[in-house]
Amino acid sequence: MTLQQPYLTRLKAVALLLLLFGGALALRPFLTSPGPLLAQLSSELGIEVQALGWLTSMPMLLMGVGALTASWLPKRLSSLPGVALSLGLLTLALVLRARVTMPLLWLSTLLAGLAVAWMQLQLPGLIKQHFAGHLPVLMGGYSALLMGGGALGAGVTPWLMTLFSEGASVLALWALPCIPVLLLALWLARRDSQPTVSRVAPLTEGSIVSTSGEDNPAPAKPSLSWRRAKAWSLLLSFGLINGGYASLVAWLPLSYQKLGMSQLASGRLVALMALAQMFSALTLPLLAGRFAGKQAKADRRPWLWLALIAQLVGFMALALWPQGAPVLWSLLLGVGLGGSFSLTLLLVHEEYRGAEQTASLSAMVQGGGFLLAALPPLILPPLLLDGAAPVMQSSTDFAPLWLLHWLFVLVVTVLCFGFGPSGLPARRVTDEQQRVSKVHAQ
């Protein structure tokens, strides 16, 4: 090994981390930025606000479809090339929003939804391939920045409206932060395609597994995972948790506006919830990893139960006593949602040692989960809205929705009993072991 190679190893490790965290920040602004501008977009496009609600719901559906179809991508587009392709597609989709036409708006939503679906499968896989020794910490950081990107989209967009007159032009500005991340992904993909004689030395012991193309397999088609009860439990949990997040983003501000709260104050509740999500998504996996130590069978359930209890308290409070402490309820829900999201992803990526089967399970859980998560926000709009004007007169009318999500969280709490470490080593087979078993089976 030359003297230059360790330097290049450190450089690539830093570049990978920048790509992972920059990509995570880029995944959500396209989804949350239209919300504050729905009224203006409705005026510019000449359609009802109710129809524009699909700008949030459609991407959730597309993220589910995209995750399920990601395994069909050619092997050469896996991992770093796949991230570069997805970032390019996302950047193009956001640029298309600069023109105020309904067809281009729907086309951009379609492209962005599929791009994000593929990329959010690849990024956690990169964490496992290159930083397996720091999986809980980096998965928590990834989840936190994912939610931070959503908070930026919702919080910065209204400020950008003071600089630009057209809402669509503001939406297109979110393509700018994607460009440097895209260039970084292209550089890494080009380096990754170059043949290497030996594995690159790790930045720190146990932190980097490999950077050769051999260890970046394309996602396996989800055949084995679909036959396992635990995989279905993870899918249901992921979907119900994200369904609660989608409903809160869509209806929490309106529910408090019906109680007399201003738009600015009700929007601040969502921002506080997002900040709590970031904190919880980062700290709970970190605590789970720290207290597990070097145990071969780490039990993540106590931390997941803690996050679920926070959600149970928050949803019940919204249903029965919404005016009691709105800030506290928002913080509790943020802590619960952020911790549940990141810990569920951690469980998915700890289930198998092999990258192929991990990608298979991740595609199933995220694909089916996002399809499920898109349903709750779509259940009530026909009942809540008459054209562009809300017909509800009281926030108490939202109580059935919050109680429904309370029941969903209770279901996840029960399913969590099956997420223990017992029996996992027998299922944690490597890709090489699977290939050998297939050869013997033939």
pLDDT band per the 50, 70, 90 thresholds, residue 300: confident
Is residue 38 pLDDT above 80, yes or no? no
Is residue 219 pLDDT above 70, yes or no? no
pLDDT band per the 50, 70, 90 thresholds, residue 212: very low
Is residue 224 pLDDT above 70, yes or no? no
Q: What is the mean pLDDT of the chain?
A: 75
Spell out the domains of the chain, with CATH numbers in brackets: 1-218 (1.20.1250.20), 220-442 (1.20.1250.20)
pLDDT at 105: 83
Neighbouring-strand partners of residue 389? 386
Rounded-to-integer distance, Cα 245 and Cα 50, Å: 19
Which percentage of the chain shows pLDDT scores above 90? Answer: 19
pLDDT at 95: 92
Is residue 335 pLDDT above 60, yes or no? yes
Please write the tens of the pLDDT for every residue from 118-132. Answer: 887 788 778 877 887
Using DSSP's 3-state secondary structure scheme, residue 208 falls into coil
Please write the tens of the pLDDT for every residue from 131-155. Answer: 877 777 787 788 778 888 877 887 7
CA atoms within 13 A on the CB side of 127: 26
pLDDT at 211: 34
The mean per-residue pLDDT over the stretch 285-290 comes to 78
Most confident region among 188-202, 242-256, 286-300, 388-402 by mean pLDDT: 242-256
Is residue 113 pLDDT above 80, yes or no? yes
The mean per-residue pLDDT over the stretch 74-101 comes to 82
**Contact (CB, 8 A) for 280 and 339:** yes
pLDDT band per the 50, 70, 90 thresholds, residue 4: very low
φ, ψ dihedrals at 329, nearest 5°: -65, -40
In sequence order, which ranges of 258-325 are alpha helices (DSSP H)? 263-292, 301-320
The mean per-residue pLDDT over the stretch 208-229 comes to 47
pLDDT band per the 50, 70, 90 thresholds, residue 8: very low
> 134-169: b or e for each residue (b if 16 or more CB lie within 10 Å)?
bbbbbbbbbbbbbbbbbbbbbbbbbebbeeeebbbb
Is residue 432 pLDDT above 60, yes or no? no
**Contact (CB, 8 A) for 206 and 133:** yes
Is residue 201 pLDDT above 70, yes or no? no
Using DSSP's 3-state secondary structure scheme, residue 442 falls into coil
pLDDT at 78: 62
Quick one: angle between helices 263-292 and 135-160, nearest 10? 170
Is residue 234 pLDDT above 50, yes or no? yes
Angle at 170 between CA 106 and CA 256, to 5 degrees: 85
pTM of the model: 0.72
Which percentage of the chain shows pLDDT scores above 70? Answer: 71
Please write the tens of the pLDDT for every residue from 385-394. Answer: 444 344 444 5
